[in-house]
Structure 1
Amino acid sequence: MFKLVMLKRAVALSALIFMSGCSQDNGSAPSPTADADLATDQWIGRWTGVEGLYLDISQNDAAGPGHYLLEMQYGLDADQSGTFEGQATDEGISFTRHDGSYLLRAGDGEATGMKWLLDKEECLVVQSGEGYCRD
């Protein structure tokens, strides 16, 4: 059901962006997120990984719609944590941390590649072996 809701939101947002491009030019460029919620806005809040790992997503109001702050404990070492700026894309939220650039995307427990999360249905995946889920 989560995937269906995400798909519907993505289709609606795509249609809105397409229609805004077809309207008359009044001298100002419309923001594609001004009148519509982004699918990634549904991801705001806390997501839980394994062994105390977590992901907290909040809006980055200073940067505007479609921009997020990702507070993460993504590894067991103290230096594997931090807050990173993310931006909505068609596929998810792109962000960069000291170990590379990533795309946070929707998935399920199986997509995380972690046996402890296999039974979860609503998850966000950074890469195989790194995922966060909601109960």
Structure 2
Amino acid sequence: MNRAFLSSTACIALALLVTACGDRHASTEPVGAQGSAGTAAVPVTDQWLGKWTGPEGTFLQLTGVDGKYEITIQNLDGPRSFQGSAAGHAVVFERDGQKESLRATNGAETGMKWLSEKTNCLTVRAGEGYCRD
């Protein structure tokens, strides 16, 4: 056989071997779609953990982890707690038989004049919002 043919065949075989040895388990998911141990990504709503204040001594306290939360809402009647869970870019919970949704907004979107200048807020519904400074 001719030497050029053998050299070309060896190069093609090497290229195929290198390709075949690639990571067969490479993920096609976007970067950050999984945690370090193959667990689901941390929900964006986990960034909302902590205390959020409203007017006249009202507040919302969000505790929990991995999309499962306890929501404590202090209004003028006193504190009440609810179980909630992440649903995309919101936390959903039930209060008095009504499905509620907690979402990130600015102060103007809370519908409350006392919070209108704030930029980092959570709103349950128009007229019920809580912000961080």
TM-score by length of 1: 0.68
- Residues 1-135 of structure 1 correspond to what in structure 2 (within 5 A)? 16=33, 34-59=39-64, 65-73=66-74, 75-78=75-78, 81-98=79-96, 100-135=98-133
Structure 1 spans left out of the alignment, 5+ residues? 1-11, 18-31
Q: Give the aligned CA root-mean-square deviation in angstroms.
A: 2.1
What 5-or-longer segments of structure 2 have no aligned partner? 1-29
Q: Taking every aligned residue pair, what percent have the same amino acid on both sides?
A: 43
Task: Give the deviation of 1:91 after TM superposition.
Answer: 3.1
Deviation readout 1:13-38 (Å, 9 max, x if unpaired): 9x828xxxxxxxxxxxxxx9x24221
Q: For the structure 1 residues 134 and 76, does the alpha-carbon distance in structure 2 shift closer, same or farther, using more than 3 Å as the test?
A: same
The runs of at least 4 consecutive aligned structure 1 residues that moved more than 6 Å come to: none
- Classify the secondary structure of the residue corresponding to 1:111: helix
Paired residues, number = 101
| Structure 1: distance between partners of 2:92 and 2:41 | 20
Which structure's CA Rg is the greater one? 2
